[in-house]
Amino acid sequence: MSADIQNDGDSKPASTEATVSLPATGIAVVERKEPPPEKESDTQRRSWIVLSFWLIAVFIGLPIWWNTTTIYRANLPLTQMTDWADGKACEPVFPLRIALDVGSLPEQEAQNLLRLTQHALDDLNDFSGHHLRLQLAQAPTEATVQARDDSNVALTIRLAPGDAAHTASSSLHPHLPILDVQYPPNSLPTANSPSSGLATYIATQLGATFAEEQNIISYLLETSSITPEHRPKGISQEVVDTVSKRMTRSLKYSQTYHLSFSLFTNGPVPSSWDIEAAIDEYMKPVLDMLRPIHDFTIDTQVQLYASPGVQSQVLGKEDLSSFINAAEWPLSPSIGGAPTVNFIVYIGNQTIGVPSETDAVETSQSWMIPQWGSVYLLAPPAEAAHVSSETLKQPILTFTSHLLTLLGTPQSGSLPLRLSTLARIRSADLLLRASSSLGSLARLTLALPSISIPSNVADGVVKTIQHLELACAGLGGAKSLEHARIAEAEAERAFFEKSMVGQLYFPDEHKVAVYLPLLGPIGVPLVMGLLNEIKAWKTRRNQKLKAA
């Protein structure tokens, strides 16, 4: 140091002196000495300590951390679920039995006709989803037809010999599922003939009767989640268009529907209506027929001073969608789970300007709002304050036909046939819906590994599959609708499980923020200790090897 100061003004470089002067700072003056050799027991003890810390961390710390932070995921039968969604688990086939009531024909001829007609049917019908099976009717009276209503006989063909001069003719019974066929007596097939005009005729008639149902079921299969190899052959584009137009209008299936009838008037009158009598008279019969498929509750209301959403005198097509004044009209859905169908009678002077082009049901006074209900414009009645049940006849009849459309009833055929078709369509629909819900749930489970799956979801899935199997086994029967309904409800409940919808979301930054302050200061000494220990162990081994 002193040398430094003396050399200050000097030009002589002081590099050698400087290195000497370094120890003057007094830090590293000490001479390096080897530490005394460590005792064997100490080294061993240190290894044990490091080892035990690691054992505790791995065998106690990790399991505790895993158990407290892991998300509960119940076991779901994923392959089974995807099988259902892909249509591998169930072939949607409707075996429809059709009874052939041959009247007075002898047994032999009847069997012959049956065989030929079945042949003709099988030739005609290339749709695998529908199996029309003919059988001979036992006791062909109207009473038994009604009594066997719940059996699988979808239609009875009543053969009766008619005029010889005419060709065969057929007509559907308006109130019973019966197809009356009048045939010329000479058209009966002989015992050995390979084909018969009558058999072909009956087969064609049957095909025509069930054509719409076939189309709808094909459409349902087409639009479902079922993979192409598992569904029957496709249908033409125009059929898809017409059916999809009709199907998108109809409401989602439910056991119960609330029917809400509302009378809206622009001014203070009329303020009362004979709605109860009108419904009893004009709508009740149809509702009673629908009972096996749906339940209905009815409420009515009168609302005065209700101004529509569109004020113009003549309503154009685009006005119809905004006519309902949703902000002011009290059309809140009914309380309780079932969907509400709204029927509105609006009393005012407005008319519809656009003639309906496609749909014959729409008159110039009413229109249907898909999946919601229907509106009927009624001119103010002569008796200003009261709307009589007679005035309500036309609106209620219109509403009834709209209701059938909203429920998804097919449009051709007699009413009983349409309703039994409705039951089959609905069970197919529910079956496919439940299957696709299962598929979605399976995909969701796989896609979100951090979502928790409570055990009641697993229960719901098991229940769904169980009821789906039952429904699939008895497809076309009366019980299948019930099972499909339960399956669908269970599947929806499992999919929309509350605790799954609001899944806990921890972003990775949060995890780092929570774990780093703890794991950093603990993990570093642990890891360093382990590394040092391994190093020491290696050197010891090398020394031993050298010594050896």
Our finding on whether 160 is near another protein (CB under 8 A) is: no
Beta bridge partner(s), residue 170: 181
How far, in Å, CA of 79 to CA of 84, rounded? 9
Residue 138 CA: distances (Å) to CA of 61, 107, 141, 162, 478: 77, 12, 9, 22, 21
Structure letter (DSSP) for residue 334: P
- Give the integer Cα–Cα distance in Å for 82 and 80: 6
5, 27, 143, 447: which one binds another protein (CB under 8 A): 27
Packing angle, helices 415-447 and 455-473, rounded to 10: 140
Question: Is 40 an interacting residue with respect to another protein (CB under 8 A)?
Answer: no
Q: Output the CA angle 238-243-248, nearest 5 degrees.
A: 130
Closest approach of Cβ 305 to another protein, in Å? 4
Q: Which of 44, 146, 255, 301 binds another protein (CB under 8 A)?
A: 301
> What is the distance between the terminal CA atoms of the chain, rounded to a whole angstrom?
51
Of residues 242-261, those binding another protein (CB under 8 A): 260
Q: Is 1 in the site for another protein (CB under 8 A)?
A: no
Of residues 275 through 294, those in contact with another protein by CB under 8 A are 275-276
| Beta carbon nearer to another protein, 39 or 546 | 39
- Rounded to whole angstroms, what are the CA distances from 494 to 233, 378, 507? 32, 46, 26
Do the strands 295-303 and 272-273 form a parallel or antiparallel pair, or are they unpaired? unpaired
Rule CB under 8 A: say whether 462 interacts with another protein.
Answer: no
What H or E segment, with its residue span, contains residue 375?
strand 373-378
- Could you say which of 2, 11, 67, 70 contacts another protein (CB under 8 A)? 11
The crossing angle, in degrees rounded to 10, of helices 415-447 and 197-223 is 30
Candidates 4-12, 124-132, 311-319, 487-495; binding stretch for another protein (CB under 8 A): 4-12
Total Cβ atoms within 10 A of residue 483: 24
Pick one of 298, 369, 397, 451: the residue that binds another protein (CB under 8 A): 298
Decide: is 30 part of the binding site for another protein (CB under 8 A): yes
CB under 8 A: which stretch of 34-42, 66-74, 206-214, 347-355 binds another protein?
34-42
Cβ proximity to another protein, 353 vs 529, nearer residue: 529
Is the CB of 204 or the CB of 303 nearer to another protein? 303
DSSP 379: P
Beta strands (DSSP E) in 76-228 are 94-101, 130-136, 153-161, 169-172, 178-183
Q: Site residues for another protein, window 518-537 (CB under 8 A)? A: 518, 520-522, 525-526, 529, 532
Residue 57 interacts with another protein (CB under 8 A): yes or no = no
5 binds another protein (CB under 8 A): no
* Pairing status of strand 153-161 against strand 94-101: parallel
Looking at beta carbons only, is 335 or 547 nearer to another protein?
335
* Binds another protein by CB under 8 A, chosen from 1, 3, 6, 38: 38
Helix axes 78-86, 455-473, angle to 10 degrees: 40
Alpha carbon distance 17, 6 (integer Å): 12
Contact flags string 374-393 toward another protein, x per CB under 8 A: ---------xxxx-------
Residue located via tokens 């010329």: 184
State yes or no: residue 339 binds another protein (CB under 8 A).
no
272 touching another protein, by CB under 8 A: yes
The correct pick among 3, 22, 62, 277 for binding another protein (CB under 8 A) is 22
Using alpha carbons, select from 463, 56, 417 the residue that is nearest to residue 206.
417
Q: Which of 2, 5, 26, 33: binder of another protein (CB under 8 A)?
A: 33
Options 121-129, 244-252, 269-277, 480-488: segment touching another protein (CB under 8 A): 269-277
CA distance 242 to 45: 85
Judged by CB under 8 A, does residue 163 bind another protein?
Answer: no
Residues that bind another protein (CB under 8 A): 9-15, 18-19, 22, 25, 27-28, 30-36, 38, 42, 46, 49-50, 53, 260, 268-269, 271-272, 275-276, 297-306, 328, 330, 332, 334-336, 383-386, 513-514, 517-518, 520-522, 525-526, 529, 532
